A and B are shown apart, each in its own frame.
Chain A
Amino acid sequence: MSLKVITANRLREGDVVYLTDSGRWSTHLNESRTGSNESVIEEMLAQAGADVAARRIVAPYAFEVVEVDGILQPLSAREMIRAAGPTVRADYRDTASQESGLKQTSQAA
């Protein structure tokens, strides 16, 4: 089965976060806990559900990643952009933890 991680947004701030091995939420995709079978993912989602109830996060869900040379990379364009920030301007990216892998548009002026 494929590799998945759990993402959500911080309730108060709205930041994109990922569930880590220690059970905390990190803004860095690469610190995510990965799950490769249903029961692990279920368990991770259950923990996310508890953190929703505890008002830490909102809107958790799982998505697929691949590991390349020790770096986690999302499969879909959507999750790449979500992890790295908008691709439209270098100066808009600030929570970027890694290259999105998508082509950037250079910003004139």
Chain B
Amino acid sequence: MPLLKEGKVVEDLWTPLPEDAEPAPQGRIIVTLEQWQAGRERLRGHNGRLGLRLKSDQSPAQIVDDLHYFDLIALEFPRFGDGRAYSYARLLRERYSFTGELRAVGNVLRDQLLFMVRCGFDAFEVANENAAEAWRDAMAEISLWYQPTGRSGPSLGVLRRAALPSAR
């Protein structure tokens, strides 16, 4: 599936850790929460970077103390309508100060990209053939927002304050 970053389709340098992979492969691997919990000690010594994949009912709040082991966190969208990961993303960015790659995986549609970006995602697995084009169109659709959120520039509240005549 194409991976989008900064509006471009890029090569995915990460691989999921297969079940029962013995010994663990080299390089960048993504583990599930279950794999991490079962093999934490061993995985900590992994020779290469680690990523973590969370299902939509697995809040990052459960694993706050371990977040520094990961350079990537992938949050699943099992269905279009399951919006839990939007909250997880904001928590990761704004509360737990996670600065690695935040990847949206699963049912990631073009029409959600803007919301995801606004919540702090910066990588997207999209099932769209023209992913880069879709990205460009989606990003151009709405440029103004009412809410301040972590990573997405000023919101209208701030803009208004800047634009308002000082006479008040």
Asked if chains A and B are in direct contact (CB within 8 A), the reply is no
Spell out A's residues near B (CB within 8 Å): none
